[in-house]
């Protein structure tokens, strides 16, 4: 029965997308909001991430896009009369804050409770030492582990354990942060120091190794009366030693015996019963396949990455059920909304296989260590669904959107292949397939990788089919094993469209099966489908009156949750206007793949082949490609070529190509007398010739990309040679080579059009100069450096261009201002990364408006002017990617963003930094290159106003001449104290500003400073313009800030 005293619920979100905490919490938080509202609660959301669905007023009554900290929560409790807080849907961020609210007495002071799993259970599960003692008290097996609070204790723990390797685990952290495998004392001390630095409790567990044992997970739900179910079991294909977020994961577990499964189930029930879990819980086990002995590794007393995966794998809406349980309901009182017949106490069963593969960012960080282990490096994930492991695996590979259509061949020697198998990297599965092609021993591959031989043999089944696929007779069997049309057509030497025609003539077509939580035992009322070639009966039929929206695939750098926001808002707009919205996507973390957001969901790879299968079945009125980022744009040409241009709704196919093709768009700008940087569109083989004609520095840009991938600023011929070697570009590929305009201001401009009129959604000013990717740049809305007449002139120009291009829907332009010149950089004929940000700032769901215009409908909307400033601050993954440098440029590196809102620009920026880094010591270390030192004149007075200032010797001398009291931070080569590094280690530095120089020695020294700052969790600014803005903000604001809610 529902607890009637729960009326005003504050849901704490997870903040910006980052490695270890991605879109899965927008999904779980949005489901929870919907569940609370269904039950009549007034829902207030706190989240600093403007790109989320949960921060829309369609899902909450009041939204605070504010720093997620105790001070903000206290303000909200007072403003909104909060009686209950839901902390189980915002990842580690929300759990840690719940712990803090309990510790500092805020909950008790205001009579507010944590609903769902209580604070005590959270503390036990998150505190490694308490958790270990708790398990031992229950008689549950755990590996030998010792709590340590300093390096001396770590040394003694290592002596007690007795042998390496040794595992280090941190408390109250996310994504395995601070965890690692030490193979000797030196590496143990290094990992332990880092782990102690990032643990909120400054404690770690040093643990005996269980490397190469198998890892399994159980996803569970329990109610307040002790009713509990296993939603599903999941098997990590990779063994212990690889974080579950980094592992390939299979549902259901395929190699676990029933006897061992029952042991794990009994153990899990024992643990959640004694913890008093109310809601969702994930438990990770290690199992020795030889003896069947198991160990309990970890418990997550909340919805998690695995919860989202389990929800999509089974169809069971874990977060929604968990939210109802937090309100007091029991499992036997809640109907499963997927079937509409069974109750939530009914354990799901499935008759298919799902395979999750992580998506790593090494295409952006080519200098980072590609080895994967106990700390996460992946930014997102995809899931493939099929009737066999092979089919599901191959669909997952095709979903990665990295150009893979198969288990690609590798150009590596045998020793490299074996090393790749033993030392896990993002390419290990491809190395295993290559080893099998080379007839290496399967048992040896299993031993080196730690993979169960079962999975090695399944990959052998795929590889053996490659050798057989030389005639048309192979097509049927190859499709059953998950082979793509693209790969088969290449094997047979024919065009993919021709193969498709032949395959259909042979009657080789997929059928679509439903995901219904009950393996077909009951009829599902929620249409959620996947395709397979291992079945006969088609369970999906044409929807009618339908529009297909192509989603954006996995979360990765350059294409994140912002595009899922746009997809979902478009779906809502279509449904509100009486049409059926069909989503195609393959990301298990997202709101768009929730079971009832759309009228129908197809969980499929976003490739021409799979999208065409669905179009042929559904025969929709049209297909919308604007909301899925570059993923959907890149298959638009093939869809139009196969089905005709008319199937693409909104902006026409030719305009899309014109804007995506650098050469065509450059010609368009010239034909309209619009200024652009001097440039040539040439084949890569002629890059050197034309770079010399333009003169260095140059900017080089490929076509049909997102997030600036492959874009670079090059200062000399050597840079260009290194670029050509490091970027995988085919011979004959054409690139735009343009003059790099230094010290220019950049603007992002978003607009929406119905083809007759154009509305400027907003103009965002970049704080950093042009040359830093717009996804990484700090932006402010409205602009603060432009006069009104210039803004109006630019807006008129944008409106004219948009109408000339024939845009219907959304469009984004990037321009730069240099003196009196307005210079075009690029245009994007789709939803942009800044659409959610502007939607929140202006109070209008612009993707919904765009979808209606694409349907040919009129829609009047009223934008809001709240007289506030909005700052977008990017969040970076450098701390997770060892070896990577933090210098920003034209290739995007950030994973997510924060919005800061203020009555002036400085409050907005202060709050965005507060959201990203928390309250910091008011001390700053400056190491500024000679070219940038002149800007210090503008902040000398602010630096003297309450800051403890440190600087490297050259910068210190310059500041002293300005009258600033400054302490010298010495480089190691100067052999004097204190050094930069000792100051950082002693916790005396709050912020670091390091602007890089082009000289090799300065660059190398600067890299060491930047890397040290990152490894010690210190905010790092590498741009002098942003540094000026930040210093002024910190001078004006010191913990004193207002909150600005969005209300219905």
| Bond before 228 cis per omega within 30 degrees | no
Q: What are the tens digits of pLDDT across the range 119-160?
A: 899 889 888 888 989 999 999 999 988 889 999 999 999 998
Mean pLDDT of 520-539: 85
**Partners of residue 47 on adjacent β-strands:** none
pLDDT over 80 (residue 393): yes
Q: How confident is the model at residue 886 (pLDDT cuts 50, 70, 90)?
A: confident
pLDDT over 80 (residue 777): yes
The angle subtended at Cα 872 by Cα 871 and Cα 877, nearest 5°, is: 145
Whether the CB-CB separation of 629 and 549 falls below 8 Å is answered with no
pLDDT over 50 (residue 216): yes
Task: For residue 117, give the 3-state DSSP assignment.
Answer: coil
> Which domains, ranges and CATH numbers included, belong to the chain?
8-116 (3.40.50.20), 144-209 (3.30.1490.20), 355-372+390-505 (1.10.1030.10), 527-649 (3.40.50.20), 659-663+743-865 (3.30.470.20), 678-738 (3.30.1490.20), 919-1036 (3.40.50.1380)
d(CA 147, CA 170): 10
Other beta carbons less than 10 A from residue 1007's beta carbon: 15
**Helix and strand counts by DSSP (H, E) for the chain:** 36, 39
pLDDT over 70 (residue 1001): no
Joined together, the tokens standing for residue 892 give 């995007």
CA within 13 Å, CB half, 886 = 29
Mean pLDDT of 63-73: 98
For the sheet containing 600-603, what is the strand order? 511-514, 528-532, 600-603, 580-585, 546-550, 622-624
The angle subtended at Cα 174 by Cα 173 and Cα 177, nearest 5°, is: 75
Whether the CB-CB separation of 342 and 330 falls below 8 Å is answered with no
The H or E element spanning position 869 is: strand 869-875
Alpha carbon 571 to its chain's center? 21
Joined together, the tokens standing for residue 674 give 């619009």
The H or E element spanning position 1 is: none
Whether the CB-CB separation of 147 and 203 falls below 8 Å is answered with yes
d(CA 245, CA 374): 9
Residue 415: partners with Cβ closer than 8 Å, 6 or more residues away: none
Distances (CA, A) of 34 to 804, 917, 1048: 42, 30, 16
Please report the DSSP string for 300-346 in residue order.
E-S--HHHHHHHHHH---HHHHHHHHHTT--GGGSB-TTTSSSBTTS
Residue 790: partners with Cβ closer than 8 Å, 6 or more residues away: none
Mean pLDDT of 20-46: 95
350: phi then psi, degrees, rounded to nearest 5: -130, 150
The H or E element spanning position 543 is: none
d(CA 480, CA 533): 5
Q: How confident is the model at residue 341 (pLDDT cuts 50, 70, 90)?
A: confident
Mean pLDDT of 812-828: 95
Q: Which of 193-207, 398-412, 968-982 has the lowest mean pLDDT?
A: 193-207
pLDDT over 50 (residue 532): yes
Mean pLDDT of 704-712: 70
d(CA 205, CA 183): 16
Mean pLDDT of 476-486: 97
The H or E element spanning position 721 is: helix 717-726
What percent of the chain clears pLDDT 70, i.e. is strictly above it?
Answer: 97
Q: What is the pLDDT of residue 486?
A: 97
| Bond before 978 cis per omega within 30 degrees | yes
Q: What is the pLDDT of residue 1000?
A: 45
pLDDT over 80 (residue 730): no
Whether the CB-CB separation of 102 and 119 falls below 8 Å is answered with yes
CA within 13 Å, CB half, 1041 = 31
Residue with tokens 């989603």, as numbered in its chain: 551
d(CA 314, CA 70): 36
Distances (CA, A) of 735 to 175, 631, 666, 678, 711: 38, 20, 12, 14, 10
pLDDT over 70 (residue 824): yes
Mean pLDDT of 464-481: 94
Task: For residue 561, give the 3-state DSSP assignment.
Answer: helix
Mean pLDDT of 543-558: 96
CA within 13 Å, CB half, 752 = 27
Q: How confident is the model at residue 257 (pLDDT cuts 50, 70, 90)?
A: very high
Whether the CB-CB separation of 936 and 928 falls below 8 Å is answered with yes
CA quadruple 875, 881, 885, 890: dihedral, nearest 10: -50
Q: Which of 352-361, 712-721, 837-846, 872-881 has the lowest mean pLDDT?
A: 712-721
Q: How confident is the model at residue 22 (pLDDT cuts 50, 70, 90)?
A: confident
d(CA 62, CA 492): 58
Whether the CB-CB separation of 207 and 166 falls below 8 Å is answered with yes
Query: For 392-524, where are the E strands, in sequence order?
Result: 511-514
**Residue with the larger pLDDT of the pair 731 and 976:** 976
Is the sign of the CA dihedral 734, 737, 738, 743 positive or negative? positive
Whether the CB-CB separation of 647 and 639 falls below 8 Å is answered with yes
Q: What pTM was estimated for this model as a whole?
A: 0.93
Joined together, the tokens standing for residue 1036 give 């004006």
Query: For 726-858, where are the E strands, in sequence order?
Result: 734-739, 745-753, 758-769, 779-781, 809-818, 821-828
pLDDT over 60 (residue 999): no
Residue 403: partners with Cβ closer than 8 Å, 6 or more residues away: none
Residue 629: partners with Cβ closer than 8 Å, 6 or more residues away: 552, 553, 559, 563, 706, 830, 831
Mean pLDDT of 416-443: 96
Average pLDDT across the chain, whole number: 92
Joined together, the tokens standing for residue 129 give 């030492």
């Amino acid at each position: 029965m529902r607890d009637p005293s729960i009326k005003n619920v504050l849901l704490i979100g997870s903040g910006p997308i980052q490695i270890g905490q991605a879109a899965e919490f927008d999904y779980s938080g949005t489901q929870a909001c919907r569940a609370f509202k269904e039950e009549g609660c007034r829902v207030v959301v706190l989240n600093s991430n403007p790109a989320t669905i949960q921060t829309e007023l369609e899902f909450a009554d009041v939204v605070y896009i504010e720093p997620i900290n105790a001070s903000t929560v206290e303000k909200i409790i007072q403003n909104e009369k909060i009686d209950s807080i839901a902390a189980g849907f915002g990842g580690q961020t929300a759990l840690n804050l719940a712990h803090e609210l309990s510790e500092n007495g805020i909950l008790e002071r205001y009579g507010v409770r944590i609903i769902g799993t209580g604070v005590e259970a959270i503390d036990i599960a998150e505190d490694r030492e308490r958790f270990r003692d708790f398990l031992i008290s229950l008689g549950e097996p755990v590996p030998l582990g010792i709590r340590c609070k300093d390096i001396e204790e770590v040394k003694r723990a290592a002596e007690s354990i007795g042998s390496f390797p040794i595992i280090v685990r941190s408390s109250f952290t996310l994504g395995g942060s601070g965890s690692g495998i030490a193979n000797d004392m030196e590496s143990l001390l290094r990992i332990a120091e880092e782990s102690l630095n990032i643990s909120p409790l400054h404690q770690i567990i040093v643990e005996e190794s269980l490397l190469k044992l198998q890892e399994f997970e159980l996803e569970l739900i329990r109610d307040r009366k002790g009713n509990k179910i296993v939603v599903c079991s999941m098997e990590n294909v990779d063994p212990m030693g690889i974080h579950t977020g980094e592992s390939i994961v299979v549902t259901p577990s395929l190699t676990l015996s029933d006897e061992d499964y029952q042991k794990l189930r009994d153990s899990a029930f024992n643990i959640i019963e004694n913890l008093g879990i109310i809601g969702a819980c994930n438990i990770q086990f290690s199992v020795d396949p030889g003896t069947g002995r198991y160990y309990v590794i970890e418990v997550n007393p909340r919805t998690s990455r695995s919860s989202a995966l389990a929800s999509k794998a089974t169809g069971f809406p874990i977060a929604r059920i968990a939210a109802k349980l937090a309100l007091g309901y029991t499992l036997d009182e809640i109907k499963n909304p997927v079937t509409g017949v069974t109750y939530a106490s009914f354990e799901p069963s499935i008759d298919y296989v799902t395979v999750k593969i992580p998506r790593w960012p090494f295409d952006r960080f080519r200098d980072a260590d590609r080895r994967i282990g106990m700390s996460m490096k992946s930014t997102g994930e995809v899931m493939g669904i099929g009737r066999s492991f092979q089919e599901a695996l191959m669909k997952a590979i095709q979903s990665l959107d990295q150009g893979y259509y198969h288990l690609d061949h590798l150009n590596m020697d045998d020793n490299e292949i074996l090393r790749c198998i033993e030392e896990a990297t993002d390419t290990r599965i491809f190395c295993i397939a290559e080893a099998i092609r080379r007839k290496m021993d399967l048992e040896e591959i299993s031993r080196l990788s730690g993979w169960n031989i079962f999975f090695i043999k399944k990959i052998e089944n795929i590889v053996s089919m490659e050798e057989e696929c030389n005639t048309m007779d192979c097509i049927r069997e190859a499709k059953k094993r998950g082979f793509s049309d693209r790969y088969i057509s290449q094997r047979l030497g024919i065009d993919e469209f021709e193969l498709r025609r032949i395959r259909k003539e042979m009657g080789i077509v997929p059928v679509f099966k439903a995901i219904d939580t009950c393996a077909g035992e009951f009829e599902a009322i929620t249409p959620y489908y996947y395709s397979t070639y291992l079945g006969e009966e088609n369970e999906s039929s044409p929807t009618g009156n339908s529009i297909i929206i192509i989603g954006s695939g996995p979360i990765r750098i350059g294409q994140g949750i912002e595009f899922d926001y746009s997809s979902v808002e478009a779906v809502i707009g279509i449904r509100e206007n009486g049409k059926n919205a069909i989503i195609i996507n393959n990301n298990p973390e997202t709101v768009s793949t929730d079971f009832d957001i759309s009228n129908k969901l197809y969980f499929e790879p976003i490739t021409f082949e799979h999208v065409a299968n669905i179009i042929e079945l559904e025969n929709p009125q049209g297909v919308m490609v604007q909301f899925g980022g570059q993923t959907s744009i890149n298959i638009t040409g093939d869809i139009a070529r196969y089905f005709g241009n008319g199937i693409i709704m909104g902006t026409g196919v030719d305009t899309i190509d014109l804007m995506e093709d650098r050469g065509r768009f450059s010609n368009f700008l010239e034909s309209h007398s619009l200024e652009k940087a001097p440039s040539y569109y040439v084949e890569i083989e002629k890059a050197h010739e034309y770079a010399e004609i333009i003169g260095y520095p140059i900017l080089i840009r490929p076509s049909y990309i997102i997030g600036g991938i492959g874009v670079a600023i090059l200062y000399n011929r050597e840079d260009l040679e290194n670029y050509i070697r490091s970027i995988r570009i085919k011979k004959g590929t054409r690139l735009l080579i343009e003059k790099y305009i230094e010290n220019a201001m950049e603007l992002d401009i978003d607009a929406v059009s119905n083809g007759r009129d154009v509305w400027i959604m907003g103009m965002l000013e970049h704080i950093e100069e042009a040359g830093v990717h717009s996804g990484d740049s700090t932006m402010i809305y409205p602009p603060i450096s432009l006069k009104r007449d210039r803004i109006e002139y630019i807006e008129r120009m944008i409106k004219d261009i948009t109408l000339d291009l024939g845009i219907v829907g959304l469009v984004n332009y990037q321009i730069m201002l240099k003196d009196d010149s307005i210079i075009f950089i690029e245009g994007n004929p789709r939803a942009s990364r800044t659409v959610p940000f502007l939607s929140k700032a202006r109070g209008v769901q612009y993707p919904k408006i765009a979808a209606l215009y694409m349907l040919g409908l009129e829609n009047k909307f009223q934008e809001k002017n709240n007289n506030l400033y909005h700052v977008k601050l990017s969040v970076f993954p450098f701390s997770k990617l060892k070896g990577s440098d933090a210098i920003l440029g034209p290739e995007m590196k950030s994973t997510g963003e924060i919005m800061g809102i203020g009555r002036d620009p400085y409050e907005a920026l202060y709050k965005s930094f507060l959201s990203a880094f928390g309250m910091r010591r008011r001390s700053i270390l400056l190491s500024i290159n000679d070219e940038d030192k002149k800007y210090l004149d503008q902040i000398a007075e602010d630096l003297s106003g309450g800051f403890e200032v440190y600087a490297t010797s050259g910068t210190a001398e310059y500041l002293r001449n300005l009258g600033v009291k400054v302490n010298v931070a010495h480089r190691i080569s100067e052999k004097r104290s204190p050094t930069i590094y000792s100051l950082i280690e002693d916790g005396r530095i709050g912020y670091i500003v390091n602007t890089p120089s082009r000289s090799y020695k300065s660059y190398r020294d600067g890299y060491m400073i930047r890397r040290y700052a990152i490894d010690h969790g210190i905010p790092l600014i590498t741009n002098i313009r942003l540094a000026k803005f930040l210093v002024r903000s910190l001078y004006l604001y010191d913990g004193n800030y207002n909150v600005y809610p969005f209300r219905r």
